[in-house]
Structure 1
């Protein structure tokens, strides 16, 4: 018998330069009368949030703002956001920003309609019923959160990042406008763009990959790898920004169904403990984890080399797979990605505890193409110490 697979994604996607102008129309289509805008203070300081809210004003749609979302947001932040949602009696939530703002918007949506508290929802399919109508507007090309049923929150007590996975976290609408990313500084362009590329690479090499997720991941890799250097060097290039945003979305669709693997499992403990930005943490761990994982699926890694622009003519599958790893190493160098954990205060004595944290991320390690042991985790961390 053949393998039975499922695929799910956001039901409505509005995308293209200038698409933000459709916001009022989309809110009205959902029956929105009172909108809670969930964002972060940095974005609020740029004036972009004001411009988005002006679009709601023109449609005479009441709105309020929650702008206290921090990087790697805690579950307490999501609870506070949900309290604001209830207080304002919002019937639509608008998540505006990067992955952190979108994830808090997602969780505040389900907390507004479910009882039991956020701690009861960590895990897979533990959200009892749908949340409020949700519109997600990414301002980075990275997380793909607008097309995933996943929200990641930090538990500072356990020094871990925890995930909620539920069909009820898919937004009603994803609105993608690459013009919103034109002002991103190079460092954020790289951190978020590498996150998108890693989503695609991990989805492609996941043990749960399917022909459909492979198709999405391959196109995402082609788009992001082919445009990230330009977006980094010339942030005003709208064509590069458009390809980055499309690639990020496709990568999100791929990993939402195939899953990510050990790169993310390694990134979570160092992100929670040392507050290393998620995209940077992933980028630091990418090459050593790919070197380790390569033996788990040499044919796929060999194919990956071609997607990354490497000439593999005449090479064996193993030689081509190594070319993929080297291509990712060179990309990190070109984009000036931080290379060492020690730059963030990590010490050798910290490695055993961090490695134990990796082994707790069983949801992701189950997707990994190679069995990972505790001693492997320690060795991989030390490769980039």
Structure 2
């Protein structure tokens, strides 16, 4: 029996090469007169902001820019930024950048209308009032933050990633323009692109997946699998960049509705304690978690293999499903993602405490297609470290 589901995304989605030119018109539709643009210093240095500011200037919209966003932002970053923008009369927030800039923009919008400490917003639906209007403009193809109602931050008190989850974080407008990604460096293209693939694979195999998200996730897998290598090694290939931009967007939509699972749960402690970028942590762990998950849904993993362009004709269902896991690992390797926890500073003595931390992230683990306890989480980490024999019964 099919249960009741909700499908949520940005109110308005604008996509296509050159679509950033629509931002002024969209700001006017939101009755904006005084705008704050939220970004980071690297984006400002690239000159990309002119593509955002010029359409606003042409319509006489007053604007300021704050470029204080830092990667993998801690809650303190939010607290510092809110003091700079509150009371200034802004009526629209525009986030421009990667996932960090977009997540900060979403939460700043609700901090301006909810007089409560940001830490009181941690968790699910702990925001009382809608925020100020937002327009989100991703400059990487990976996080999908422009269409999700999640925002992830580093809690420096206990060194783990924590999420704020609320429909009030969905933007009024998301503008996805592949032209803004043409200058993204290869390593960032690889990490963010694999992150988007993680979103698609995890949401497709998630407990909360449904017929709506299945089709969206499979198309995301297809687009990303065929174009990520090209985008990494020939960043000026606009067709590859367009595939990645659309693949990331679709993966974000699927993630925002079906959710993700154990890859993200196991990645959060890596980001919090070892400062591993979110996309790298997810990508590194993807093959190892999928090797564990594959037996829980052979049919879906077989479909993943087909979406990735693998030839599964003549294979048994189990062989076809295993092909997907192998293909995911090969793609991650081909684009230069670290293959072992050793490569990101983890030692074998860290694994038990990492497993304990990850086991507490019930929101994600409860959506994973195969049940995990601390024991299984520990063995997946050990596999990613290189400590598990191929004959392990836990991972098959």
TM bracket, shorter-chain basis: over 0.9
- Within 1, Cα distance between the matches of 2:89 and 2:158? 33
1:183 aligned partner: 183
1:374 aligned partner: 374
Number of aligned residue pairs:
385
1:161 aligned partner: 161
Question: CA shift at 1:384, angstroms?
Answer: 2.0
1:31 aligns with 2:9: no
1:59 aligns with 2:59: yes
1:317 aligned partner: 317
Instruction: Give CA deviations for 1:176-213 in whole Å, capped at 9, x if unaligned.
Output: 11100000111011000000011000000001100000
Contact 1:79 1:111 in 2 (8 A): no
- Within 2, Cα distance between the matches of 1:51 and 1:248? 21
SS state of the match for residue 86, structure 2?
A: helix
TM-score (norm: length of structure 2): 0.95
Instruction: Give CA deviations for 1:342-365 in whole Å, capped at 9, x if unaligned.
Output: 222211111111111111111100
Q: Which moved more, 1:332-341 or 1:233-242?
A: 332-341
1:362 aligned partner: 362
- Within 1, Cα distance between the matches of 2:311 and 2:73? 42
TM-score (norm: length of structure 1): 0.98
Contact 1:78 1:105 in 2 (8 A): no
Unaligned runs of 5+ in 1: none
Contact 1:81 1:104 in 2 (8 A): no
Question: CA shift at 1:81, angstroms?
Answer: 2.3
Question: CA shift at 1:51, angstroms?
Answer: 4.2
Question: CA shift at 1:85, angstroms?
Answer: 2.5
Contact 2:305 2:327 in 1 (8 A): yes
1:336 aligns with 2:333: no
SS state of the match for residue 14, structure 2?
A: strand
CA RMSD in angstroms, aligned pairs only: 1.1
SS state of the match for residue 109, structure 1?
A: helix
1:56-95 pair list within 5 angstroms: 56-95=56-95
Contact 2:20 2:51 in 1 (8 A): no
- Within 1, Cα distance between the matches of 2:205 and 2:112? 37
Instruction: Give CA deviations for 1:279-329 in whole Å, capped at 9, x if unaligned.
Output: 111111011100001111111112211111111112111111110000011
- Within 1, Cα distance between the matches of 2:149 and 2:216? 17
Contact 1:148 1:169 in 2 (8 A): yes
Contact 2:301 2:320 in 1 (8 A): yes
Contact 1:79 1:108 in 2 (8 A): no
Question: CA shift at 1:273, angstroms?
Answer: 0.8
- Within 2, Cα distance between the matches of 1:355 and 1:89? 46
1:191-270 pair list within 5 angstroms: 191-270=191-270
- Within 1, Cα distance between the matches of 2:336 and 2:176? 27
- Within 1, Cα distance between the matches of 2:239 and 2:51? 23
- Within 2, Cα distance between the matches of 1:352 and 1:381? 9
Q: Which moved more, 1:311-320 or 1:142-151?
A: 311-320
Contact 1:294 1:321 in 2 (8 A): yes
- Within 2, Cα distance between the matches of 1:89 and 1:228? 42
SS state of the match for residue 94, structure 2?
A: strand
Contact 1:64 1:88 in 2 (8 A): no
Question: CA shift at 1:59, angstroms?
Answer: 2.0
- Within 1, Cα distance between the matches of 2:286 and 2:3? 30
SS state of the match for residue 64, structure 1?
A: strand
